[in-house]
Amino acid sequence: MKIKGKRAYYVYYFFLCLFIALALRIFYLQIFQKDFLQNLANKQHYRIIPIEGSRGKIFDRQGRIFVTDIKCYSVFADPQLASDPAKSAKVLAPLLGVSKEELIQTLNKKNRRFEWLKRKVSWEEKEKIKTLGLREVGMLREEKRFYPQETLASCVLGTVDIDNKGLEGLELSYDSYLRGKQGWVRILQDSASRQLILSPQAVAPQPGTDIVLAIDMQIQYWAQKHLEETVREFRAKGGAAIVMDAQSGQILAMANYPNFDPNNITKKSLKFIKNRAVCDMFEPGSVFKIVTLIAAIDSGAFQPQRRIFCENGEWKIPGTVLNDWKPFGELSYMEAFKNSSNIGVAKIAISLEKDMFYLYIKKLGFGELSGVDFPGEIPGMLRHYTKWSRTSSYIVPIGQEVGVTLLQLVRAYAAVANGGFLVTPSIVKSVRVHGFDKEVPLERYRVISEEAASLTAQVLIKVVEDGTGTLAHIKGMTVGGKTGTAQKYDPQVGSYSLTKYRASFVGFVSNFEPALVIGVTIDEPQKAHLGGTVAAPLFQRIAQKAIAYMKGEVKTSKQ
């Protein structure tokens, strides 16, 4: 009996000690290891997924949608629930358009509870994946950027990345406005680990701010359409066009060709993303002669009655020989510009002091940024007059040894059309904050006298009436402008090419409210290369459509 009693005693104390040990262990875990274990459990069952807020819409000046968001789905996986990664990858690969090997690699990450398989799939793709019944696969609803006008103004609008963050164009420069405020949702699996479900714990994302462009979708369509036609007709390398309100600096159209479809970006289309109107520098040729004309008139240094001998088309200058496109004898200053005489314009320029001429180049905005609300703008190329060669004083006034953008040229011609003010170009008209449109402030300042602007305009009108720009004429409208035919510099031979040209025309329609300035440039046209033949007719077609539309004479449809 004593032996049996001792055995019972030992058993009793053994279980008592075991109970005490377990109680102490539970106490320790509950009190001292509570946070650690809770975090461990959360890591095993929960995952916080950020949800981007809807990105703001982009409208044209008439309220038509350029860019919006559409609903889509993103596919993710919990690798720890993938019992047979190879089998799952085999059926998922053709539906997702992702390689089987890549999916196997993702599903084999057993230390992970959440991995994206593919972002931004369509509703049809989502439904097909759902029918597979894979317990390791789940889906989240997201927003996808959508460009309903496809290539229209694509080089201006730009692109976003997979997370709807701006990468190019206005999507980048106005990203802080357009991007929504991030929310989040917590994902967990059920108690039997059979499926992934959403936790009710979530913070709703906030939508981004809408922006309204100064661009008119209809004018943009015609500018882009006729630009493409011209590039194709002359088998050119590319081109750009701008339509601007001369008074405000608001850009009504900014076209590029070739361009791209932001809904379907490929490796091939990536090289067409650049906005040539703002980011492409070139030697302007004769369209730059407006600087010489303005400098001579505004400074009062040149007498209008003076006549210029144009050397019958060939003039030896320091370092080279200057030629005209046809022989000219004596010309008045108006005739020198009207007939685009290189020799006549060069002689006018050298009658000015170099520092004065350089001052007017700067006053008209060349060699510096215009301040347009677009990323990647370049200032062009302008050497200080103290660094000019002995030839520079003769050829800079005719548009050589200087690099400009099309936007800079349009801005300078706008100063003539609006009475002497240099405007700050703007692509965005307003930002919509809490349902109200906050207008982008318009900036301009006087750079030449009103009289000088008027006299300059008269000369440019004569260029179109019976000079080199006659193909830009529009019946019933007062049109002024200047042609430009610039030889491109060939670095391989170290001189100007005899076969590669840049054809341009920049002009204005003055008897219309608001006064419109339109600039077009065509890079390396093949069938013909003169600005008056290639670019002036393009100006005319764009201007005719824009004016008729703004007068209400044509329907607001793509025609």
Whether residues 169 and 254 fall in one domain = no
C-alpha 307/C-alpha 398 separation (Å) is: 19
Q: How many CB atoms lie within 10 A of CB 305?
A: 7
Q: How many domains does the chain have?
A: 2
pLDDT at residue 559, as a whole number: 46
Residue 211 counted as domain residue: no
119: domain CATH number is: 3.90.1310.10
Residue 99 counted as domain residue: yes
Whether residues 162 and 249 fall in one domain = no
From the list 286, 392, 393, 426, the catalytic residue is 286
CA nearest to 509, candidates 550, 473, 553 = 473
β-pairing verdict for 210-213 and 58-59: parallel
Whether residues 385 and 533 fall in one domain = yes
Determine whether 195 is exposed, middle or buried from the number of CB atoms within 10 Å of its CB (0-12, 13-18, 19+).
middle
Peptide bond into 207 cis (omega under 30): no
Whether residues 177 and 228 fall in one domain = no
C-alpha 168/C-alpha 178 separation (Å) is: 13
Whether residues 170 and 224 fall in one domain = no
Q: What is the span of the domain harbouring residue 93?
A: 49-189
Q: Nearest 5 degrees, angle CA 333-CA 339-CA 343?
A: 65
Residue 466 counted as domain residue: yes
Residue 477 counted as domain residue: yes
Torsion 470-473-478-484 (CA) sign: negative
pLDDT at residue 91, as a whole number: 76
- 54 counts as catalytic: no
Structure tokens that stand for 504 in this block: 């341009």
pTM of the full structure:
0.84
Q: Residue-wise pLDDT tens for the chain (559 aa)? A: 455 566 777 777 777 787 777 777 676 666 666 665 566 555 555 566 666 778 899 999 999 999 998 888 888 887 777 778 787 778 788 878 887 778 777 777 877 777 788 888 877 887 888 888 787 787 877 788 999 999 999 999 999 988 888 999 999 999 999 988 777 666 665 544 444 555 555 677 778 899 999 999 999 999 999 999 999 999 999 999 999 999 999 999 999 999 999 988 887 888 889 999 999 999 999 999 999 999 999 888 767 778 899 899 899 999 889 998 889 999 988 888 888 899 999 999 998 889 999 999 999 999 999 999 999 999 999 999 999 999 999 999 999 999 999 999 999 999 999 999 999 999 999 998 777 778 888 899 999 999 999 999 999 999 999 888 999 999 999 999 999 999 888 887 778 888 899 999 999 998 888 899 999 999 999 989 999 999 999 999 999 999 999 988 776 655 4
Element (H, E) at 490: strand 479-490
